[in-house]
């Protein structure tokens, strides 16, 4: 049966490691402003373990063998440090500061093992694949909601941006992709093949695709690709495969007409096709000079306030081909769920705008529209009179409205064979959007730019813009943990700015010092009373009397 763990640690007089430290070390260890104490107070102790109850149903997985909040906190610490799993476990076992961040104060307290950590993450991914709900995302939303409420952070104005991030996979050529997928998947079918087909398959299992590509010209590779496709087709027909990765790759890379297998024209292969069999969910996208095989991560955060920091309130991960405007509405909903505040204003770039997004009941401040700047500018400020300006010549025309709702002006230029230049409703809406953007004050435009700092921090520990992970669910866990760490760092910096050293309200001020002294005195009296209640101690006191 699922049980939540108690976050409070009961200590005796000799359990606190600070008692064994020097004065300077003990002061730092007990400093409420230290990152590890802040982490425990703002993250570890506030993680809602009930979110993960579906992972431990009665008669299914049983009760968790380790503290759920510590397992979640370990994920956040790992991405905060940018360390490996082995280094994380070593820190949790032997680093006093990391242990205190997890609430492991006593030396005999055991941190979760590496196997338990892996099992917990795998259960989250499996549950997300089965139900579509990522429990870590729900936990992140509630944790952010607590932090927003504690520091009175408003979610009325938010900003968002996206980042293409590479998966931890190799870049395969087309032939290598098909061959690697064949090698990876053929094992489950070998026992169902007849001897003749098994004999045809065997030479392909011994081939090194990388060497074949290196030694061969393009014509030879295309021929080999066709021959391999015929073998794969024969295998799929023999085993009557209805799904699976091998069938998926075959259908993406080949055409079958009247029983003849031919490779597809590479220009017709979709960007969201399989790029590597080790991560079938990764997609290809080229954005300017950047080429990525992986995912698009969208970050939503509150705008900075004079009396509160900005917090990341929503994280979304989709394949690299996902359009930015597809994140927009969901990002608003996630932010409202986290902060409990209705969003009024959204700052984003032009890639997020669409007709549906503009129709939402929020003020969308788009700071850039994709595409070339229009040749004509629309002016509807003078009542019913609509003027259209030719931006190349500066000439202004008074537009006439047609029955269909379009506008028309005399066609610029004397040599034109057309009398009228028409502007359809869709074109007019695009011109209005550009005008609204041009009218936005620069101070408002700058508010969106600050979200790029969050994008930079998100990818701070990546190498060559690639993460350590494969798969959409693993990237979701990575992004959520990394954003939780970013939020913590912002709150720590904010508290340092708002509470100067030694001030009345600061963690080192007199009020906090008196409170800490009274708490320590109370614990000492409680332990002394407990000792006096034991028979052996009572006898010693009697003899001493």
**pLDDT computed for residue 530 by the predictor:** 53
Name the nearest CA neighbour of 163 among 302, 278, 315. 315
Reported as a single tens digit per residue, the pLDDT across 96-144 is 999 999 999 988 889 999 999 999 999 999 999 999 999 999 999 999 9
Split at pLDDT 50, 70, 90, the class of 381 is low
Which tokens is 512 given? 């906090």
Reported as a single tens digit per residue, the pLDDT across 286-345 is 988 899 999 999 999 998 777 888 999 999 999 999 999 999 999 999 999 999 999 999
pLDDT over 50 (residue 25)? yes
Residue 440 sits at the vertex; the CA angle it makes with 437 and 443, to the nearest 5 degrees, is 135
Least confident among 251-260, 261-270, 369-378, 446-455: 369-378
Reported as a single tens digit per residue, the pLDDT across 181-236 is 999 999 999 999 999 999 999 999 999 999 999 999 999 999 999 999 999 999 99
**pLDDT computed for residue 405 by the predictor:** 75
Who wins on pLDDT, 530 or 260? 260
The answer to whether the beta carbons of residues 288 and 312 sit under 8 Å apart is no
**pLDDT computed for residue 506 by the predictor:** 44
**pLDDT computed for residue 335 by the predictor:** 95
| Beta strand pairing call for 345-348 and 157-166 | parallel
Which tokens is 76 given? 């956040």
Which tokens is 191 given? 């026992």
Which tokens is 308 given? 């509160």
Split at pLDDT 50, 70, 90, the class of 62 is low
pLDDT over 60 (residue 541)? no
Q: What percent of the chain has pLDDT over 90?
A: 60
**pLDDT computed for residue 537 by the predictor:** 46
Name the nearest CA neighbour of 156 among 415, 353, 447. 447
- What mean pLDDT value characterizes the chain? 85
Who wins on pLDDT, 428 or 27? 27
The 10 Å Cβ neighbour count of residue 305 is 14
Q: Burial, 297: exposed, middle or buried (Cβ in 10 Å; 0-12, 13-18, 19+)?
A: buried
Name the nearest CA neighbour of 279 among 295, 264, 268, 260. 295
DSSP string, 3-68: -PPP-PPP--TT--GGGGS-HHHHHHHT-TTSHHHHHHHHTGGG--GGGGGGGG-TTTT-S-SS-H
The b-or-e profile of 141-150 (16+ CB within 10 A means b, else e) is: bbbbbebbee
Who wins on pLDDT, 537 or 487? 487
Radius of gyration in angstroms for the set of CA atoms belonging to the chain, rounded to a whole number: 31
**pLDDT computed for residue 501 by the predictor:** 47
pLDDT over 50 (residue 158)? yes
The answer to whether the beta carbons of residues 370 and 361 sit under 8 Å apart is no
């Amino acid at each position: 049966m699922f049980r939540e763990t108690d976050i409070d640690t009961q200590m005796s007089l000799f359990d606190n490691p600070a008692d064994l430290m020097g004065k300077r070390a003990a002061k730092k260890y007990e400093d409420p402003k230290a990152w590890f104490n802040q982490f425990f107070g703002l993250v570890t102790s506030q993680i809602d373990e009930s979110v993960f109850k579906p992972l431990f149903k009665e008669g299914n997985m049983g009760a968790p063998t380790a503290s759920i909040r510590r397992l979640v906190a370990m994920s956040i610490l790992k991405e905060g440090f940018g360390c490996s799993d082995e280094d994380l476990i070593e820190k949790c076992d032997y680093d006093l500061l990391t242990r205190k961040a997890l609430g492991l104060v006593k030396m005999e307290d055991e941190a979760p093992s590496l196997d338990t950590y892996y099992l917990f993450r795998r259960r989250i991914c499996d549950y997300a694949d089965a139900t579509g709900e990522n429990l870590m995302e729900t936990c992140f939303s509630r944790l952010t909601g607590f932090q927003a409420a504690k520091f009175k952070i408003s979610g009325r104005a938010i900003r968002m941006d996206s980042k293409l991030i590479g998966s931890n996979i190799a870049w395969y050529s087309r032939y290598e992709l098909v061959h690697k997928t064949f090698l990876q998947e053929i094992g489950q079918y070998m026992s169902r093949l007849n001897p003749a087909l098994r004999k045809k398959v065997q030479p392909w299992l011994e081939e090194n695709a990388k060497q074949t590509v290196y030694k061969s010209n393009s014509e030879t590779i295309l021929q080999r690709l066709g021959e391999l496709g015929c073998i794969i087709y024969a295998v799929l027909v023999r085993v009557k495969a209805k799904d699976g990765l091998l069938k998926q790759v075959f259908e993406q890379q080949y055409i079958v007409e009247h029983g003849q297998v031919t490779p597809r024209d590479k220009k017709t292969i979709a960007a969201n096709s399989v790029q590597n069999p080790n991560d079938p969910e990764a997609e290809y996208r080229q954005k300017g000079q950047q080429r990525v095989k992986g995912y698009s991560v969208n970050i939503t955060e509150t705008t900075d306030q004079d009396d509160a920091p900005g917090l990341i309130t929503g994280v979304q991960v989709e394949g690299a081909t996902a359009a930015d405007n597809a994140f927009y509405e969901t990002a608003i909903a996630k932010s409202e769920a986290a902060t409990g505040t209705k969003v009024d204003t959204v700052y984003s770039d032009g890639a997020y705008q669409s007709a549906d997004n503009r129709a939402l009941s929020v003020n969308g401040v788009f700071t850039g529209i994709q595409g070339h700047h229009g040749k004509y500018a629309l002016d509807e400020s003078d009542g019913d009179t609509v003027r259209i300006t030719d931006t190349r010549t500066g000439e202004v025309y008074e537009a006439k409205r047609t029955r269909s709702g379009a506008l028309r002006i005399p066609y610029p230029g004397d040599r034109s064979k057309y009398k009228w230049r028409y502007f359809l409703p869709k074109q007019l809406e695009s011109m209005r959007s550009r005008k609204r953007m041009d009218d936005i004050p620069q101070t408002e435009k700058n508010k969106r730019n600050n979200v790029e700092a969050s994008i930079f921090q998100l990818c701070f520990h990546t190498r060559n813009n690639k993460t350590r992970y494969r798969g959409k669910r693993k990237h979701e866990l990575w992004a959520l943990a990394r954003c939780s760490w970013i939020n913590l760092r912002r709150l720590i910096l904010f508290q340092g700015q708002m509470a100067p050293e030694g001030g009345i309200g600061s963690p080192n001020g007199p009020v906090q010092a008196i409170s800490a002294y009274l708490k320590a005195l109370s614990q000492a009296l409680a332990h002394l009373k407990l000792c006096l209640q034991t028979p052996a101690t009572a006898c010693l006191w009697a003899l001493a009397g």
